[in-house]
């Protein structure tokens, strides 16, 4: 009997029991759809995150001090230990192009044109290189020492009247202190500019560390001093200054993190910059070493290395989903085997007639095996289509670029064939061994 004839007869048998066949393939559909959907979302998320890393950002090293093996990603458990003197010493290294501090500043609200919106974590003080030129849609970077700010679209559009370049924005700090900044730039996206911020869209106002973090507060509008933690640390570090309530100055303000720029994205340059910066920061004569002690350890990683941690989590979740899908496929294969055994019993007289007119055991075996394979392939195709649709919907909802894992589509079809062969082998063998005389007597 020819393969095409096998396919025609198998399709006719499946079509005569549509509901039963559909329920039989459900386990395979769910299992393959789960894997395809999750792999699609994982590949799309990875492409979106890696796409946010510009060539300039690939040479950046992000450092912070926290207890070893602290879980939670960048800045988890971080303590402000880096001073301006530490930054300057690292910046002067031959293996480093630039080094600057990073400090999120607690705020109460943002105000523009008489409208006030509560905002607790929008303000970030950093060096001008933190705002990469390619991320600016309008205007320019802020300049160190100037009362300027770069905002993202989430801030620009959260007021009734959109904030534009050149406008004045009022920042209300915790305690009610206010200062005005001139908006000199607007970024092209509301996503974070570095792993420190994450990549979720959120309102952000970027200001220079000088004056908004390192300048002493002298009344409203004199700039922001360091936060209370930094002030307490500064007082402990230099008791001679006394506790007069002044905020941290440029000399003793402590930054939560440091950004070090290597000369290039070459792995050798990055490793050299990392080693040189750590040697300075962990030396006995650095200010950071005073607070490190035995409990804290400086971590310094690139964006790619930080995102690799996310990729490891995605891989772990993917393995978990594949495990669940494997259970679903086992259930689906048992369903196919069960329905094929039922089909063999129902078609006993048909098998007897086929053998009576000259059909060989291999013909009966091929017929039932083809039917099982067709069921497996149908389940794989429908599962793949459903998985791709779910992946597309998820990528659209999260707003990330869609990446289809085509190799998994081919693998899904192969798995469908394999499941069909394994689950249909015994029922087909049993049908082939049916005695034609007993089969013709079967009622």
pLDDT at 302: 85
pLDDT at 55: 57
Across the strands, what pairs with 104? 124
- 351-386 b/e (C-beta count within 10 Å ≥ 16 → b): bbebbeeebeeebbbbbbbbbbbbbbbbbbbbbbbb
Q: Where does residue 282 rank: exposed (0-12), middle (13-18), buried (19+ CB within 10 A)?
A: middle
Tell whether the model's pLDDT for residue 51 goes beyond 70: no
Tell whether the model's pLDDT for residue 237 goes beyond 50: no
Tell whether the model's pLDDT for residue 217 goes beyond 70: no
pLDDT at 53: 58
Whole-number mean pLDDT of the chain? 79
More confident residue, 278 or 419: 278
More confident residue, 307 or 250: 307
Could you give the CA distance from residue 21 to residue 23 in angstroms, rounded to a whole number? 6
Residue-wise pLDDT for 62-91, tens only, equals: 999 988 877 777 888 888 889 889 999 999
Residues 6+ apart with CB under 8 A from 404: 40, 43, 388, 391
pLDDT at 240: 42
Tell whether the model's pLDDT for residue 246 goes beyond 80: no
Averaged pLDDT for residues 232-240: 45
**Do the beta carbons of residue 436 and residue 352 sit within 8 Å?**
yes
More confident residue, 388 or 439: 388
Residue-wise pLDDT for 370-407, tens only, equals: 888 888 888 888 988 998 899 889 888 877 778 887 88
Residue-wise pLDDT for 319-341, tens only, equals: 787 777 778 777 777 877 887 77
**Do the beta carbons of residue 37 and residue 391 sit within 8 Å?**
yes
149: pLDDT confidence band, cut at 50, 70 and 90?
Answer: very high
Residues 6+ apart with CB under 8 A from 93: 99, 273, 276, 277, 280
224: pLDDT confidence band, cut at 50, 70 and 90?
Answer: very low
């Amino acid at each position: 009997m020819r393969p095409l004839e096998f396919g025609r007869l198998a399709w006719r048998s499946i079509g005569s029991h549509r509901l039963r066949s559909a329920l039989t393939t459900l386990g395979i559909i769910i299992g393959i759809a789960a894997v395809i959907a999750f792999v699609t979302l994982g590949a799309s998320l990875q492409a979106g995150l890696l796409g946010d890393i510009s060539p300039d950002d690939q040479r950046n090293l992000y450092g912070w001090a926290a207890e070893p093996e602290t879980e939670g990603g960048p800045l988890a458990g971080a303590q402000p230990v880096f001073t301006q003197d530490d930054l300057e010493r690292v910046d002067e290294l031959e293996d480093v192009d630039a080094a600057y501090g990073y400090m999120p500043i607690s705020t109460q609200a943002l105000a523009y044109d008489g409208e006030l919106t509560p905002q607790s974590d929008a303000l970030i003080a950093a060096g001008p290189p933190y705002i990469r030129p390619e991320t600016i849609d309008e205007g320019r970077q802020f300049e160190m020492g100037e009362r300027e700010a770069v905002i993202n679209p989430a801030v620009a559009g959260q007021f009734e009247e959109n904030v534009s370049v050149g406008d004045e924005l009022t920042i209300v700090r915790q305690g009610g202190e206010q200062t005005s900044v001139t908006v000199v730039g607007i970024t092209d996206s509301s996503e974070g500019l570095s792993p420190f911020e994450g990549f979720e869209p959120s309102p952000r106002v970027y200001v220079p560390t000088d004056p908004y973090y390192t300048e002493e507060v002298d009344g409203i509008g004199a700039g922001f001093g360091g936060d209370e933690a930094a002030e307490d640390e500064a007082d402990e570090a230099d008791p001679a200054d006394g506790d007069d309530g002044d905020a941290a100055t440029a000399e003793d303000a402590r930054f939560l993190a440091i950004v070090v720029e290597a000369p290039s994205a070459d792995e050798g340059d990055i490793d050299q910059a990392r080693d040189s910066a750590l040697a300075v920061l962990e030396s006995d004569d650095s200010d950071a070493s005073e607070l490190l002690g035995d409990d804290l350890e400086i971590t310094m990683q690139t964006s790619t290395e930080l995102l690799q941690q996310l990729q490891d989590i995605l891989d772990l979740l993917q393995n978990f989903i594949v495990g669940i899908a494997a259970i679903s496929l086992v259930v689906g294969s048992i369903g196919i085997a069960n329905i094929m055994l039922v089909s063999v019993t129902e078609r006993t007289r048909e098998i007897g007639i086929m053998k009576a007119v000259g059909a060989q055991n291999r013909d009966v075996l091929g017929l039932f095996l083809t039917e099982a394979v067709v069921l497996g392939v149908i389940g794989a195709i429908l599962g793949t289509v459903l998985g791709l649709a779910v992946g597309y919907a998820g990528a659209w909802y999260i707003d990330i670029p869609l990446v289809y894992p085509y190799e998994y589509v081919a693998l899904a079809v192969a798995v469908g064939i394999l499941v069909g062969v394994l689950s249909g082998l015994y029922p087909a063998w049993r049908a082939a061994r049916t005695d034609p005389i007993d089969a013709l007597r079967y009622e």
